[in-house]
Amino acid sequence: MVGVFQKMIPSLFSGDHARRPFLYVGAHNGRIQFGDELRKANYDITILEIFPPNVTFLQQEITWAKTVQGDVREETSFTDGQFDVALWSHGPEHILKTELVAAVTELERVSSGAVILACPWGLYDQGICYGNPHEQHISHYDGEEFEALGYSVSRTGIKDRRGSNVIAVKYL
């Protein structure tokens, strides 16, 4: 997906971002996509994670980012426009579709530049993983849901197949 992100948002991974604040929602010990690329671009990364064991791991092992526990569906303690960019990579599929607007609204509130959403394209079954109930896929998206919220959407792969993704970007 880095190639797709680079195509949709060429400035995201290029240049020196002079420690600009970046919110990364949902990184965990098995998936910290784009972490190295974001570090090389010199972002000041804050990770928001809901599952306490993941928070503990990230705080101990991922010392190049600040990790806080929280739920993107709820108003966070972050201030309005605190982050230049917010990335929620592989997260929307873990919440009910009825909760999507509240989560996206919160990301837009705390961002001043752009919000990026990424999730599987279509149906991709996944249950609870490593005791984490938040890993279960309970919704699936085609991208139209994000377009209805004003996002530009790109799709990669083949719908309903593993490895296929919806990437949505909104500049604020």
Rounded-to-integer distance, Cα 123 and Cα 93, Å: 9
Rounded-to-integer distance, Cα 89 and Cα 37, Å: 14
Secondary element (H or E) of residue 53: helix 52-61
pTM to 2 decimal places:
0.88
The helices-and-strands tally (H runs, E runs) of the chain is: 5, 7
- Torsion region of 30: left, alpha or beta (phi above 0 gives left; psi -120 to 50 gives alpha): alpha
Q: Tell the residue number behind the tokens 């010392």, with chain if given.
A: 63
Q: Show pLDDT as tens, one digit a residue, over the chain (172 residues).
A: 555 666 667 777 666 656 789 999 977 666 676 777 778 788 899 999 999 998 999 999 888 899 999 999 988 889 999 999 999 988 898 899 999 999 999 999 999 999 999 999 986 766 576 676 666 678 889 999 999 999 999 998 999 898 899 999 999 9
Q: Which CATH superfamily is domain 2-171 in?
A: Vaccinia Virus protein VP39 (3.40.50.150)
Return the domain boundaries, the chain. Answer: 2-171
